[in-house]
Amino acid sequence: MNAAPLFPVVLALALAGCARHPDAVSHDIANAPADAFLAAVAAHCGKAYEGRVIANEPRSDGPDPFDGKRLVMHVRGCDDPAHELRIPFHVGDDHSRTWVISRTDRGLRLKHDHRHRDGSPDAVTLYGGDSAPPGTAQRQVFPVDADSVAMFRKAGMLPSVHNSWAMEIEPDQRFVYELTRPDGRRFQVAFDLSKPVALPPAPWGSTTP
């Protein structure tokens, strides 16, 4: 049997199997910044870094929970770093806060996991939003989502219904967490990624040391 006539058919089938729908290709391109951002943060898995407040406007008349406190982020939850990272944010002896960054079909999702000392969830927890596509490998912005708006309204935290969060990373240089609102509220903490520090204790509610 002459196999030569079959070659074009086999080649066509092989090419068809390798070809990808244009929508799938454009989807991958659009999501590339989210993957690059997550990978840049994941490169610091297992390490902790000290930070400082670089913007806090306008200043509150009441006591500021960040004043005089040592601020440390710990890239800790890295069981599946391509899909989720858990980053406790320690404020002095307050270990209640953890940032949760997870992969979605359209980009990234940021949630704030707030716990009490006994590990139980705070009444206002797991709020945040999905990234505004496409973002960049260095910066991702997370406008508040509908579930969080409903939570803030229920808690009487009306200014927070307009929250927008952002995270920035300059690989091996600094990581910035940001909160802004249209009313002029602006809060930023910058962490020095060039100088790892001793690991803090586990965040409240963690099931692992």
Q: Specify the long-range contacts of residues 53-62, CB closer than 8 Å, at least 24 apart.
A: 53/187, 53/188, 53/189, 54/176, 54/188, 54/189, 54/190, 55/178, 55/186, 55/187, 55/188, 56/186, 56/187, 56/188, 57/184, 57/185, 57/186, 57/187, 58/184, 58/185
Does some domain include residue 70? yes
208 lies in a domain?
no
Can you tell me the mean pLDDT for 83-92? Answer: 97
Establish if 209 belongs to a structural domain.
no
Is there a domain that residue 149 lies in? yes
Residue type at 141 in one-letter notation: V
Note whether 85 and 41 are within 8 A (CB).
yes
Q: Judge whether 88 lies within some domain.
A: yes
**For the chain, how many structural domains are there in total?**
1
Q: Give me 139's structure tokens.
A: 């910066």
pLDDT surpasses 80 at 141: yes
Residue 160 belongs to domain spanning: 7-197
Q: Is the separation of the CB atoms in 44 and 193 below 8 Å?
A: yes
Q: What is the CATH number of the domain that holds 179?
A: 2.40.128.20
Q: Residues 142-178: pLDDT tens digits?
A: 999 999 999 999 999 999 999 999 999 999 999 999 9
For residues 135-145, give the mean pLDDT: 97
- The radius of gyration of the chain's CA atoms, rounded to the nearest angstrom, is 22
| 205 occurs within a structural domain | no
Residue 207 belongs to a domain: no
Task: Please state the φ and ψ torsions of residue 126, each to the nearest 5 degrees.
Answer: 55, 40
Answer whether residue 202 is part of any domain: no
